Structure 1
């Protein structure tokens, strides 16, 4: 046997072992899928004890504050929902299935908590993408779907442009009551801002996002506190307006027979209209 043949034997042997392992792993996972879904009904609430509700732990992660429509009083956000619960029917022993401890299944194959945004503003209650559900051998379920929501938000512009707003996001089960599903926080009792992407063009800053359990723990309410960026309005609206006011008052100090009195008055009025239009154009671009 040549030296070349001897040199390629070890790589071929490793490839053979890898192929065999992959085949056995695929067989184990296929057998596991068949066993856990045998007799499983995704429409039935997975309660082991009827006296104990299913605990659904939730985390809301803010990715982007897309827009705040002050006219229609709607907040547009991009978020990630994290839902955790336990389904005793999905448990298995890893020893019997080649050491497999975790699988990913389609969301239409398992029971999902029907958690929706109650103060939805456009009637779209579904998440943007039905991602897979991660299931471990103890029956712990993890579902992290992304969503783009339009929620109602009462805007108070009394202190514009130095105003702060509080917008609410209220989540809960659409059909189950507190005796069947109990909502809890998966981590901290606040919105997760670790992945929040600050937009340079946005006119709002996110200050805080606390959360609370309401209605005997059957709902979770998130409060998104936002503050308007005042630099633009100060430079483009407030300072020019004050200057125009001083120019308008200066008209009264000019002699009555001065021809510049009418010119200065008209000029101040026109400049004031341009300043106001500039602020409105900024708001129109944001909408």
Structure 2
């Protein structure tokens, strides 16, 4: 029985204590506490009894997300919570005398608060606190002020290694209404807080940092972000390379079709328009200059050079008149031009016959001129090429058939294997140059692309 009575008494005491605890959290106690605190409080004075001492405000930043990063306008928008903490020596009370209340939320206009501003804001520089905000105050005078907002600040963009670039942006906060002797800012953490951070589709967050400037009067929060290059590779770099390769394919189009110039100019204009669209997405500054911009210029120069090479090739193809120079014939011969044909000196021989058949001349010389000469040398023309060996005809025997000559098979073979009798025209030289241009520009494009892409990827400057 005694044990039961002791248990009931203990339970009753706990219930009474709980009732007292619940009674301490009543609104009347909170109103009375707030009235007592605000009775002699003046928010025009800093919250220190000794006004010669500075107020130390501990600051932090909790980054939530990166809303937008505009490299062209060099600005970044981010959602974050600015954390402010300080001690107010006028807001101290004893919880036992105030119903056990240990914390109280007070309107921001009723007590002293550090009016902070974002100094590198893109828009108007103004205080970031709002009238509807509230400050949480503990019984020890410790004040917590959390300011959540979407901030837009300027950011110096370095696109030297675009699209494998890293950007460092800073958010600079400082008091708006006090000098350096009245208030000090001290970072509460060594890095930016990422308790509620959500990733961005275009940028990866690499690192963060916090530092103070101007004698602890300004706190600077820094974030380093790295671009995700997949979008640029798929939508910019690869199409540009494909169009450049397509431009080189012009040397594989037969000249006889007559569409080479139109094809080449169409691809050139397509590349020029594409480069204009790409350039609009880069910052309009010259220091530093993006290496990718130099690559775009090099691609345009290669495309213009291809157009000039096609014009030169067409000019040679339709050229008529004298036999190509020895150098041009050597180029065509070295490349094994399939259009070149071998011709015996002075005439054309049919080579698909037996050894016993006579070799007959296939062309008869024609001569119209003076009647005073009976025999006169006349050059034989084969595809517009004047052969070296003269053919003598008898003017007086105009009705005679051309001579039929016989030559040994061995002599014929010697003439056929001699390079002096290879018939090469300007059209053959043009075809040979197309092969040279094709290989040359393929090598130039590969070298140019690898050179710039490796420099950008490994962050090597010119």
| Alpha-carbon offset, residue 224 of structure 1 | 1.9
Residue in 1 that maps onto 2:172: 170
For residues 74 and 53 of structure 1, the distance between their equivalents in structure 2, rounded to whole angstroms, comes to: 34
Give the TM-score, by structure 1 length: 0.82
Deviations 1:195-223 (A, max 9, x none): 11223xx4222222211111111111112
Give the TM-score, by structure 2 length: 0.53
Residue in 2 that maps onto 1:111: 112
| Alpha-carbon offset, residue 83 of structure 1 | 0.2
| Alpha-carbon offset, residue 275 of structure 1 | 5.2
Q: Pick the structure with more strand per residue.
A: 1
Q: Counterparts of 1:1-287 in structure 2 under 5 Å? A: 21=22, 25-127=26-128, 130-186=132-188, 188-199=189-200, 202-262=201-261, 264-266=263-265, 268-269=267-268, 272=271
| Alpha-carbon offset, residue 18 of structure 1 | 7.3
CA contact 2:115–2:127 (8 Å) conserved in 1:
no
| Residue 64 to residue 270, structure 1, CA distance change in 2 (3 Å) | same
For residues 209 and 251 of structure 1, the distance between their equivalents in structure 2, rounded to whole angstroms, comes to: 51
For residues 125 and 175 of structure 2, the distance between their equivalents in structure 1, rounded to whole angstroms, comes to: 15
| Alpha-carbon offset, residue 192 of structure 1 | 1.2
For residues 158 and 44 of structure 1, the distance between their equivalents in structure 2, rounded to whole angstroms, comes to: 50
Q: Matched residue of 1:233: which SS?
A: helix
| Alpha-carbon offset, residue 177 of structure 1 | 2.1
Which 5+ residue runs of structure 2 have no aligned equivalent? 1-14, 283-462
For residues 22 and 240 of structure 2, the distance between their equivalents in structure 1, rounded to whole angstroms, comes to: 76
| Alpha-carbon offset, residue 270 of structure 1 | 5.9
| Alpha-carbon offset, residue 165 of structure 1 | 1.4
| Alpha-carbon offset, residue 71 of structure 1 | 2.5
For residues 18 and 49 of structure 1, the distance between their equivalents in structure 2, rounded to whole angstroms, comes to: 41
Aligned length, in residue pairs: 265
CA contact 1:233–1:279 (8 Å) conserved in 2:
no
For residues 129 and 40 of structure 2, the distance between their equivalents in structure 1, rounded to whole angstroms, comes to: 30
Q: Matched residue of 2:50: which SS?
A: coil
| Alpha-carbon offset, residue 19 of structure 1 | 12
For residues 25 and 185 of structure 2, the distance between their equivalents in structure 1, rounded to whole angstroms, comes to: 40
| Alpha-carbon offset, residue 139 of structure 1 | 0.2
| Residue 255 to residue 24, structure 1, CA distance change in 2 (3 Å) | closer
Q: Matched residue of 2:255: which SS?
A: coil
Deviations 1:225-278 (A, max 9, x none): 122221011011101111211221221343433445345425534654675587
| Alpha-carbon offset, residue 24 of structure 1 | 6.9
Larger radius of gyration: 2
CA contact 1:118–1:170 (8 Å) conserved in 2:
yes
Report which stretch shifted further, 127-136 or 168-177: 127-136
Q: Matched residue of 2:49: which SS?
A: coil
Higher relative contact order (CA 8 A, sep 6+): 1
| Alpha-carbon offset, residue 112 of structure 1 | 0.4
CA contact 1:236–1:278 (8 Å) conserved in 2:
no
| Alpha-carbon offset, residue 115 of structure 1 | 1.7
Q: Say what the alpha-carbon RMSD is for the aligned residues.
A: 2.8
For residues 277 and 251 of structure 2, the distance between their equivalents in structure 1, rounded to whole angstroms, comes to: 27
Q: Matched residue of 2:151: which SS?
A: strand
For residues 273 and 53 of structure 1, the distance between their equivalents in structure 2, rounded to whole angstroms, comes to: 61
For residues 131 and 280 of structure 1, the distance between their equivalents in structure 2, rounded to whole angstroms, comes to: 44
Residue in 2 that maps onto 1:11: none
